[in-house]
Amino acid sequence: MITLNHYLVLSAILFSLGTLGVLTRRNAIVIFMSVELMLNAVNLTFISFSSYLGNLDGQVFVFFVMAVAAAEAAVGLALMIAFHRNKDSIDVEEFNLLKW
């Protein structure tokens, strides 16, 4: 029997994996994919709570999160393309103009 706890633990693991990916990866696109993993872990949390509580707010939230993530992806990839045109790389090690 799969209970609420199983879903919560799974989403916590996915969220941690996403966080770890953001902190350790060097390629901007892979970092962005890790962020998407975090968002999807959150979606899983919302849906499992929604089903557990018998309340639709969580599922509504998931639709909004997906819409926002799509908009974010459009803008983010455009920014990456602009950066790549000027620098021929999207390695975050190349983000070195602005620092103290």
Partner 1 sequence: MENLVQFVSKNLEQGAEPFKGIADAGQATVNFSAIMPSMVLTCFGLLLLMVVAFSPKGKSGPVAGLSLFALAVTGALSIAGWNSTEIGFVGTVALDNFATFFSLIFLLAAGLTILMSGDYLKREGCTITEYYPIIIFVTAGAMWMASGTELITIFLGLEVLSIGLYILAGIFRNNLKSNEAGLKYFLLGAFSTGFLLYGIALTYGATGTTRLAGIASYISANGDVTSSPLLLAGMVLMAVGFLFKVGAAPFHMWTPDVYQGAPTPITAFMSAGPKAAALAAFIRVFMLGLEGMKVDWSMLFWIVAVLTMIVGNFMAIQQTNLKRMLAYSSIAHAGYALVGLVAANAIGMSGILFYMLVYTFMNIGAFGVLVLIGKKGEENLTLDGVAGMGYKSPVLAVVFSIFLFALMGIPPTAGFTGKFYIFAGAVESGYIWLAIIGVLNSAVSLYYYLRVMVSMYFRPGTEDFSWIKPGAAITVSLVIALAGVLYLGILPGAVMEMAKLAAF
Instruction: Enumerate binding residues for partner 1 (CB under 8 A).
Output: 8, 15, 18-19, 22, 28, 31-32, 35, 38-39, 41-42, 45-46, 49, 52-58, 60-61, 64-65, 68, 71-72, 75-76, 78-80, 82-83, 85-87, 90, 92, 95, 97-100
Q: C-beta of 1: minimal distance to partner 1 in Å?
A: 19
Q: What is the dihedral of CA 39, 8, 22, 99, to 10 degrees?
A: 90
For residues 27 and 33, give the distance between their C-alpha atoms in angstroms, rounded to a whole number.
10
For residues 93 and 58, give the distance between their C-alpha atoms in angstroms, rounded to a whole number.
38
* Residue closer to partner 1, measured from CB, 1 or 56: 56
The contacts of residue 30 (CB under 8 Å, 6+ apart) are: 21
